[in-house]
Amino acid sequence: MKKQSKKLTLHASRREGDERRYKIVRTQAKEKKYGAKYYAGFFLRLFYRIILIAVTLLFIALFGVFKTLDTVAHGPSDTFRDFLVQSAMQASATKWVPGLFLSDEEVQSIVDASGEKVIEEVDVDPTQTHSDTPGPVVIPGKDDPDAPPPDISDGIELHLDSAGTFRAYVMIVHDPSKVFVGVSSSRFKDAVRGMRIYDAAEKYNAIAAINGGEFQDTGGVGLGERPIGLTYSRGECVWDDGRKRTFIGIDKNDKLVVAESMTREQADALGIRDGLSFQTKNVLIETVDGKTVCYYAPNNKGKAQRTAIGQRADGKFVFIVTDGRSASSIGADYDDVIDMMVKYGAVTAAMLDGGSSSMMYYKNYISKYNVNESELDEYQRLGLVNKYKAFTRPRYLPTFFMVGQ
């Protein structure tokens, strides 16, 4: 009985060995017959399966995002819906998104409600610069509150400030005559794309710049080839499409002029030398009959990257750019920017394009503030002060507020 059991085990082992040898011989025969084609076909089938799985997962993720946004748009919380719509409408790149889920009438109704203003008179110290800012200047890559104040022989002060949900980069330009509108093209009608901020600054040999006005940005992938609304650069009207927008200009006396609409005839009568346009209802602060009034928008709570320009009573310009879309800086809302402008002494101010367009350039800040370049990203090393938060390179834009040499 034991001998029979051993024989059966031996036969089974032989069969298994024969099967293994058969598989090896068969594989070797395929390799010999088909060579590299055998392996190529195997890896190609594996690649197709991986792609299929990836596409399926991407579709599920996109479907989930779409359904979530659709639920928000038509769900129980009108407040949260309005917050998202207002945030998207702050920039040329994202203002088309609400239209995917809401009708044009619904979007316009939310925008109109967010634009309702509460006028408040404020007292602004005309000599104020940054009286509430803790310590001397602190900028990206240099967090040293005990450092001595930097040399401002170039006429520019740079401050890093924070308030609530956002971080702000504030630039004070001492000589208002050096502030002007730089443009990406001398012939917007034939332009095919705008310029990145550091390239535009190099074109004008400017030492500082912020992004400017509105531009056509279908689907958030526009090339910034031409602006929207009335545009002046160095004494010349370079674009006038007749579209009514908030106008932000500088007259021949170097005074900041802001208005909810402006025609070319009105601009010429006011002696406008530089100016651009951005959407509507974007005048933040005005001086009326000697009184400084702020146009707060308590219903506009959208958080985003923001850019704004203001002027103090002593003529100095105030540039503000805020970070957003990050854990450390969610973004600023409309009233946050007004409060920051008042803090730095502005008696006239207006909002500029925001979102992925929000950028501040300062040619000399790395050497001026002894910044450790290893702590900066590739765009900051080119002169960008704020940390760019988009998924692409800095955007092509048609207009900028710049500071000349």
For each successive 10 residues of the chain (405 residues), what is the average pLDDT?
A: 49 59 60 57 76 81 60 57 61 61 68 71 66 43 56 88 88 97 95 96 98 86 92 98 97 98 98 97 94 91 92 97 83 94 96 95 90 90 87 91 96
Number of domains in the chain: 1
Q: In 3D, which of 401, 402, 396 has the Cα closest to residue 226?
A: 396
**Would you say residue 37 lies in a domain?**
no
- Give the pLDDT confidence score for residue 326 in this predicted structure: 77
Q: Computed from CA positions of residues 277, 278, 281, 286, in that sequence, does the dihedral angle turn out positive or negative?
A: negative
Q: Are strands 317-322 and 166-173 parallel, antiparallel or unpaired?
A: antiparallel
**Would you say residue 361 lies in a domain?**
yes
**Would you say residue 31 lies in a domain?**
no
pTM confidence score? 0.73
**Would you say residue 39 lies in a domain?**
no
Tell me how far CA of residue 300 lies from CA of 32, 151, 166, 389, in angstroms. 72, 39, 16, 22
In this structure, which amino acid lies at residue 369? Y
**Would you say residue 27 lies in a domain?**
no
**Would you say residue 306 lies in a domain?**
yes
**Would you say residue 8 lies in a domain?**
no
Domain that holds residue 238: 118-403
**Would you say residue 374 lies in a domain?**
yes
Over residues 204-231, the pLDDT tens digits come to 999 999 999 999 887 667 899 999 999 9
